[in-house]
Structures are given as structure tokens and as C-alpha cells.
Structure 1
Amino acid sequence: MPPHGDILMKMTPFRLTAVLALLVSPAISAAADYPEHPISMIVPFAAGGPTDVVARSLANEMGKVLKQTVVVENKTGAGGTLAAGYVASSKPDGYTIFLHHTGMATAPALYSKLRYDPLKSFEYIGEVVDVPMTLMARSDLPPNTFKEFVDYAKANGDKINLANAGPGAVSQLCGSLLQQAMGVKFTTVPFQGTGPAMTALMGKQVDVLCDQTTQTLPHIAAGDLKFYGVTTPERLKQLPDAPTLDEQGLKGFDVKVWHGLYAAKGTSPEAIGKLNEALKVALKAPAFVDRMEKLGAQIVSEDRQTPESLQKWLQAEVAKWGPVLKAENISVN
């Protein structure tokens, strides 16, 4: 039997065009039809936590654009690395996407053994929102202001229980930097997500928590927790009268959470393109904009909503946080 190339060379232009169309049409059809069934959006933290809140609002709006349901699935554990490993090893067909925050960049420095490489195991869809953090305390903790809290912390030290969302979480990073800046050492209490950590704070089982505005603004408005300040240098639009920690003496203190959307490495450019377009439309949806506004989340500018921008940002964040974490001797294994 002659080689396939010889057969094609002997065909008339019309027959050659027809055969080539048959060969490539399945791929074209698959790209045109995507998505044909629901998409899973994996969230690496507990339901009810700040990243979960962003995910559910985003999934709802992206589903409208894609004309398919986007189902949020919470896969918790190990500071988000279990979920990241799950997505990295998933079928690269565009039906499993991943919303993660700053923890994507800190994982290489925190974990000596990862099932994935944050920079090489994923396709990039785009950045989503930035979320400032706030320093909160249980309602009956004696200090009423941050200045009073600093004095109280220096006098009580490790008697203060500082909650976080588990190893590698941004709340842990924020708490570690806070202790360093204040020159104190608290007793840290890890939870599986900031949702459970906030529940413990509300129940007065822990004393302090550094958490995202997506979860804390309702409590600040209700006054059922004590609020000591914002962790970004700029005041929040939603809390114009609330001073930042930088203003209150922790000069240069700046911690916020950024979120990106990913898919498994090898996901087709066509699927990534459709997902990116759905992301861009979702970020402009009035319901999403209103929801983020109320939560204190800041939607990223259009130039950051691209795969290329997210890739460059992640590379820069890995390079930024790696030396910081190593210098602080912060690691998980």
C-alpha cells in the first residue's frame, strides 16, 4: 500500500480538499460546540469562605455567557495545593477550571514537594479581582483600637490566639507579616479555610483573624466583631473613615489577595479563548460588579483580564514571595 502522502499527492484538488475537510472537521466541530455540558470550577477552600464567595458569583455570570452551568466544587486541604494538583492532573478539555488566589504563588516556597508546577502545569485564563484584607478580633477582646491592640499584644504575646485558614493560606501570610511588623509572637491556630476560622472567631474560640473584605465587611457593618484596620496602604471605598494599619504605625504594611482563573495544561486555545471571553463579560455584569462592590473586592482592569497578564503576574509573584517566605523560615514541608 502506498504511503498516505503519495495518495494525497495523486488526488485532484477537489478530492484533496474534501478529504482534508473530513480530517480536520471533528476538531473544528469540537471547538465550535464547546462547551457541550456543565463546567466544574474548582475552589481550593471551604464553602462560605472569601474565595468561594467570589467563585460562586463569577460562575453564575460565566455560565450565562457560555450557556452552560458552571458548578463550583470545593476541594479543601493543604493550603490549596490538593485542589491545584487535582486540576493539574485533570483532563485538559476545558470542563475543569480553577479559581485560586495568591496562594498559587506562595506554594513553591511553602511546599518542598508539589504534584504540580504553578508556572508549568496550567493554562492561564485571566485575572479576576483583588481583595484587601482587614484585621479583626472577637467582640469581647479588651483592645478597642489598633494602638490598644499593639500594647495588649506586647503584654500578652503568645496568650493571643491568631486564627488562619491553614498552612499556605494568605491569612497565614498576613498573620506572619503582622507579627513580624509588631515584633510579637502569637499562638497560631490553623483551620481548613477562612470560613471555619471566621466561625471560630464569632464563637470567641480564637482572638484575632486577618481576613479578606469579602468575608469581613458584613461583620464590620453589623459591629459583631472588632475591627482594627485595613491591610492595604489605601483606605477602602466602602470604609472611607477606617484607617489602614500603615496609617496607624505599621509603615509599608501591604497585603491583599489577587485571584486568577486557570485550566489544566494542554487545554485547547479555542476553549481558553471562550473561557476568557466569558470571564471578561462576567466581570462587567452589573450583578457581579454590585456584588464585588459590596464585598470590597476590586475588579481588575481590562489589561489584566488576559491569559498573558495572568502568566506574567504569577511569575512576578512567585519571584516576590519566595525570598520573603524563606527569609521568614515559613514552610509546610
Structure 2
Amino acid sequence: MKTALLTLGLGATLAGALALAAPADAQPAYPSRPITLVVPFPPGGATDALGRVIAQKLGQQLGQTIVVENRAGAGTAIGAGYVAKAAPDGYTLLVTSGTTFTVNPAIQSKLPYDPVQSFEPIGIAGRTGLALLANPQVPVKDLKELIAYVKARGAERPAYGSYGAGTTAHFVGEAFLAAAGIQMTHVPYKGSSPAMTDLIGGQIPFSIDTVAAALPQSKQGKVRVLAISAPGRSAFLPDVPTFAEQGYPSVAMDTWLMFAAPRGLSADVKNRLEAALRNVVEAPDVRKSLEAQGFEPAFSDSAAGEALIRKELPLMRELAQRANIKLD
């Protein structure tokens, strides 16, 4: 009788333990609720437009709604800081440019995130180079002629514009000046549009802008493209040589569209997101959307994204120090 009671007691205890453990073990499969994709730029820009296109397709891949939330300000630091502090559960993601990971840390000493430790890269959806542009009335057709043009003016220091101080365009300009051993005056604008307007109008002779911004103006003959900053030629401007091809290999920067999550994402969730993003980027309609914004579709996985950040960050910091580029 005692044996029977003991067996019954053990059985009841085991059943109770299993009942208590079941809810903890039976976690719902990811994703079981809507995902938030933070865009650290205002609505209407290239990153916002592409983020929304990819979010819709990514949601279809994952079988869940993805809500796009704009958290602009401080050169992407506000939105990036918000994501960095979110739970690493895959329900808060970030889509942003290289500015967040390599430019901001080089020019700002107080950021609400660490570019390496705060984020888990998911993948890069596309990349685009920057273009060195000239007003067509300026008698310059390549970098060699530009250098001669600048040197002939001595202390006059011709101006070059960019879409903002401390931006990737500013970094490309300073990298070229350092490599060429010439001096020009940087004129930062509040965005690409006013810089392009002044370049076309002749208020400034040169400017650096994205390939996407340069392409329509170049086709209409309103600007002349002298060089591309990417490691290779742009598919959109295949006849324009890179800085490296013209003798300046140190000026090999581009900007990229990266998806990331807070650091600490589980391997299962990370792999699920990476695979879904790869499928989305390789879809023909998404590729067309990327190309329409001047990005060359080229998926890079999470490991490649992390390696890119670790490679470019010290280079940007060195350039910022040499050119005295800082925002605080």
C-alpha cells in the first residue's frame, strides 16, 4: 500500500512539474506579434521610402505586420539610440545608412549607442557611391584638371558643397583633398536639394552628392560627374571612373542601407530575419525600387555587415581627426 501511495505521489509531483514547465517551454514562434522598423530619418527620403518598401515585403516573408516608425534627429542618433535600448527580441529593428555606424561615432563624442556593441547587423540591402560634381561651365573634366584648376587659383580656394557638415559627402571631400594635397573651402548645405541648386546655378563650382541625386542632373547636362567614390564604378554611371582609377585609392567610400537589431538577438531569430531579408532584396520588384533610389541591390549578410563597420570606423575616425571634422 505504501509503495502504491509513493508511486502515485511521484506521478502527481511529476505531472505538476510538467504542467508548470509547459507554458515556459511553449514559447510562440517568432514573430508572434507586429514588428517595429525604426527609420532614423524624416519621412520622404530614400531610406524612408526603401524602408517602407522592404518592410512590406519582409512582413510578407515573416507572416507578420511590420510597422515603420520615423524617429529622426541628431544625424540618425535619436532613432538609433532608441533601437539600441530596445529588447533584443527581434520586434524592434533599425534601417539606416552608414552614417549611424561609422560617421557619427567619428565626429560625436556623446552618442546614445555604441556603433559595434549596441547593434546586431541583419544585412545590407544595397549600396551607392557618391559623385564629385562640377558645374558644366567650369573647365574641368576629371580629377587631374580639377587639381590644376585649384592650384592655379592659389589662396582663392574654390568651394565645394555637400549636403551637410559631418556627412559622408563631407568625408569624401576631405579625403580627396588630403590625398591630392590641395585646399578647397567646404560649404555645407542643409540637404542635397539646396546644394544641387547652387551648383547648377553657378554659386559653387563643385559639389559632392549621391549618385541618385546626380544621375538625373547629369543626364540633362546640368552637372558634370568627375569621379565616383565607391570601390567600383557605378552601374548607373558606368562611363565615370572612380577616384581610385584616377590615382586616389584612399577615396573609396560608399554609403549603404543596413538593417540591424539590438545586440543580443538569439541565433534563431537572427537567422530567420537574415534569410527573409535576403529573399526580399533578391526579389525583382524590390531591386527595381532600390535602383530607382540610386542604390545597387547587393545583399550582404550579417557577418559582412559587422566586418564592414569594424573596418570603416577607425578609418573615419582617423580622417575626422586629420580634417578636424567634429560636431561637438
* In 2: Cα distance, 1:123 partner to 1:237 partner: 29
1:217 to 194, 215, 218: 215
How much has 1:121 moved relative to structure 2?
1.5
Partner of 1:55: 51
Sequence identity percentage: 29
Which residue identity does 1:110 align to in structure 2?
I
8 Å contact from structure 1 (residues 232, 256) kept in 2: yes
In the superposition, relative to structure 1, how do residues 314 and 233 fare at CA in structure 2: closer, same or farther (>3 Å)? closer
Deviation track 1:46-77 (CA, whole Å, cap 9, x = no partner) reads 55555445434433432332442442526133
Partner of 1:14: 15
8 Å contact from structure 1 (residues 198, 209) kept in 2: yes
1:131 to 128, 135, 152: 128
2:138 to 139, 142, 146: 142
* In 2: Cα distance, 1:75 partner to 1:195 partner: 19
Partner of 2:234: 236
How much has 1:174 moved relative to structure 2?
0.4
8 Å contact from structure 2 (residues 229, 253) kept in 1: yes
Matches within 5 A, 1:280-319: 280-293=278-291, 295-301=293-299, 304-306=300-302, 308-319=303-314
Matches within 5 A, 1:170-319: 170-194=168-192, 197-198=195-196, 200-202=198-200, 205-232=203-230, 234-250=232-248, 252-266=250-264, 271-293=269-291, 295-301=293-299, 304-306=300-302, 308-319=303-314
TM-score (norm 1): 0.79
In the superposition, relative to structure 1, how do residues 53 and 173 fare at CA in structure 2: closer, same or farther (>3 Å)? farther
In the superposition, relative to structure 1, how do residues 118 and 20 fare at CA in structure 2: closer, same or farther (>3 Å)? same
Which residue identity does 2:110 align to in structure 1?
K
2:65 to 62, 65, 68: 68
8 Å contact from structure 2 (residues 84, 263) kept in 1: yes
How much has 1:24 moved relative to structure 2?
3.7
TM-score (norm 2): 0.80
Per mean C-alpha deviation after superposition, the further-off stretch among 169-178 and 80-89 is: 80-89
Q: What secondary structure does 2:258 align onto?
A: strand
How much has 1:266 moved relative to structure 2?
4.7
Q: What secondary structure does 2:245 align onto?
A: coil
8 Å contact from structure 1 (residues 43, 75) kept in 2: yes
Partner of 1:151: 148
In the superposition, relative to structure 1, how do residues 174 and 288 fare at CA in structure 2: closer, same or farther (>3 Å)? same
How much has 1:298 moved relative to structure 2?
3.1
User: Where does the alignment leave 5 or more consecutive residues of structure 1 unmatched?
Assistant: 1-8
CA-based RMSD: 3.2
* In 1: Cα distance, 2:119 partner to 2:172 partner: 26
8 Å contact from structure 2 (residues 71, 78) kept in 1: no
Aligned residues between the structures: 316
Q: Rg bigger for which structure?
A: 2
